[in-house]
Amino acid sequence: MKKRMYAQCPYCQTLFRVTAAHLNISQGYVRCGHCEHIFNSTTHLINDATITTKRRPNQKATDKELEVDAAADKDVPELLREDIYTPAKYISRLSSILLWGLMALLLMALLSSQYFWFAKRDWVLQHPQVRPWLESLCYNLLCALPATRNLKAFQINERLVQVHPEIENAVQIQANFVNQANFIQPYPQILITFEDVDGQPVRQRLFSATEYLGKDHTGMIAANGVVHFKLELVDMGDMIEGNDIVHGYNFEFF
């Protein structure tokens, strides 16, 4: 019976069938078909007795199966392709690499989510494509999205500032503002400023929602919701001349 020869890659421990042709090429140096390392096959030969204990599961030890394909050897004799045994250690190493790669991707996704949540939470909660998805998720999980705000979405659409018709040295203010955001927001604070001819503040006051709406307000403004408020400012004699307000004024949201 013709003696079979086998070489074992010292790097990944994979076994290959080899012939005299392999051993004669480059003084026995070959390239492993699994890990592609180059090694000297003449110094890593394995005998038949060792092979019988290292076959793959369900692999039959037939002469036909162990024969070397001469045509394949002729095509690429220096590259050992026809392995008869791939050690579990090698397969386990590939599994570990894939597992660690998956874990790295999950950690990167988690870190990205944390960055956007803590650094740009309002941007995430106000995003027109992201927020509906988050609302749907919270609905199914029986949770509620935290309040967020975009002060630029508040716009005054009507206002009337005039001398109070009934109270002396008082100013009456009536105004409407709208929440143009596509999400609910907490009521803002409103800063009303009276300015001189040079645009410098003369009188200024910040009103909370409780002050301009009363204690019965709901605390949140619906998307595209409109709010009407009315204020009476006393001791404003220096702002009044006859029946006119002599200074400019503006509204800001905080």
Percent of the chain residues past pLDDT 70, beyond the cut: 74
Say how far residue 89 (Cα) sits from the centre of its chain: 35
DSSP state of 96: H
pLDDT top residue among 5 and 193:
193
Residue-averaged pLDDT of the chain: 76
d(CA 167, CA 248): 21
Q: What is the pLDDT of residues 34-63, one digit of tens each?
A: 777 888 888 888 766 455 444 444 444 344
d(CA 54, CA 84): 9
Which domains, and CATH codes, for the chain?
A: 5-86 (no CATH), 98-141 (no CATH), 151-253 (2.70.50.60)
Identify which of 25-29, 183-187, 206-210 has the greatest average pLDDT: 206-210
d(CA 205, CA 217): 20
Label residue 164 left, alpha or beta by phi (over 0 means left) and psi (-120 to 50 means alpha). Answer: beta
Q: Are 207 and 190 in contact (CB under 8 A)?
A: yes
Residue 234 token pair: 């006393």
d(CA 187, CA 213): 10
d(CA 61, CA 13): 20
Q: What is the pLDDT of residues 213-226, one digit of tens each?
A: 887 676 788 889 99
Task: Report pLDDT for 79.
Answer: 53
Cα dihedral 180→185→190→191 (10° resolution): -90
Q: Whole-structure pTM over 0.85, yes or no?
A: no
Q: What is the pLDDT of residues 63-98, one digit of tens each?
A: 433 333 333 333 333 455 544 444 555 555 667 788
